Amino acid sequence: MSRLFLRNRLCMPVKGYNRSIVYDLIRYDYFFISNEVFELINTTEIIDFECIGDEKNREEIKEFLLKEEIIFEILESDEKFNFPVMNPDYSTPFLITDLIVHVDIDEVSIDKLSSFTLRDISILVDSYDKNVLESCLNRISMLEVDAIFIFLKEENVAYTYENFEALSRVNQLFNIYVFNSTYTSNLNQENELFTVIEIPSSFEYFSKNLDPNKLRINIEMFLEASNYHSYYHKKVYLDMKGNIKNGLYTDEHHGNLKNISVSRFTEIIESKSFQMLGGIKKENTLVCDVCEFRFMCVDSRMPYIANTEKWYHTVECTYNPYISKWKLETDYKPLLEVGVALHPTSGKLTIDYEILEQYNNFLWQ
């Protein structure tokens, strides 16, 4: 009698151009698989391993999937009904999930924000000043917010625990990011409530570009990215003048928080024009739609739409899904050099499959 296998319902296969990924949503991990294996396990039914003709290859694939608990064995086919499929819908109680402000945000704006329950607040600091930062954080922490992140944009600074010691009183403080700078913790301090993360690049590069360390895997991220734009959905950025924007690198603003009422601010962020970017899916965006990382990626690039039904970016990503290479990896090439042309005026994508196949054969065979 043949053994029966089901796919773990929290291990979600996602197909890319060259390869696929299994998102392990419960263990925050992922596994690369071939597109052939994707077709095999991308089902909620009993997995048909017999469709793989090579018995040795079949057993190797089965062993790998069992080892990583991507599949599991059942005794009777009717047992599949005991393992319901995950609901693909996404919802959140927050009107604003992610708010970005500058350290010198005025008290009037903070008072207006007190009407909202917020998931995250990010504070941008151009130049470190201990007193200014502490004052801002103390006021921000009075808001209904789950987590606070501080981004110290100034570079070449040698921070120590003493720089941030007073901030430990703020329970919501989660991470402090420093850029091209160093941090020395107090080894005798056993209960640091926050984490200082050293980023070996500028804030501008970090915030504009994707890299493997920024990929995030969990159920909420997967569902949000499957239904919405994982960067722009329910995000609000208040620039240094108080202008209301969708994100750090969008030009359009939708009013100024200093000059409007709380009810008007609510109307703005609930409006179709403000929510448009948040509703764009990676599945409907050129290049991203064939990227295996698309549901774990937070992409701040501005999307555009032209004469097609697909959105596109005028700035190329640091990952090329057509050759499965990151920009800093050996043998990386940008899209155009491997036969993939994205035309910014029309928003159309053309592929020279002969050039692309030749380069992939060079890389992977």
Confidence category of residue 188, pLDDT binned at 50, 70, 90: low
pLDDT for 79 beyond 70: yes
Strands 20-24 and 173-179: unpaired
pLDDT for 187 beyond 80: no
pLDDT at 212: 92
pLDDT for 145 beyond 70: yes
Q: What are phi and psi of 339, to 5 degrees?
A: 90, 10
pLDDT at 1: 57
CA gap 293, 32 in Å, rounded: 11
CA gap 20, 17 in Å, rounded: 8
- Greatest Cα-to-Cα distance within the chain, rounded to the nearest angstrom: 73
Q: Tokens at residue 144, please?
A: 């209904």
pLDDT for 257 beyond 80: yes
pLDDT at 3: 87
CA 288 to mean position of chain CA atoms: 12
pLDDT for 351 beyond 70: yes
43-52, 121-130, 353-362: the lowest-pLDDT one: 43-52
pLDDT at 190: 56
The β-bridge partners of 341 are: 350
Q: What percent of the chain has pLDDT over 70?
A: 97
pLDDT for 198 beyond 90: yes
Instruction: Give CA angle at 188 (183, 192), nearest 5°.
Output: 60
pLDDT at 168: 86
Confidence category of residue 306, pLDDT binned at 50, 70, 90: confident
Q: Tokens at residue 301, please?
A: 């690039």
Q: Which amino acid is at 8?
A: N
Q: What is the pLDDT of residues 88-132, one digit of tens each?
A: 999 999 999 999 999 999 999 999 999 999 999 999 999 999 999
CA-based radius of gyration for the chain: 23
Element (H, E) at 69: none
Q: What percent of the chain has pLDDT over 90?
A: 85
Q: What is the mean pLDDT of the chain?
A: 93
pLDDT at 83: 93
Q: What is the pLDDT of residues 160-175, one digit of tens each?
A: 989 998 998 899 999 9
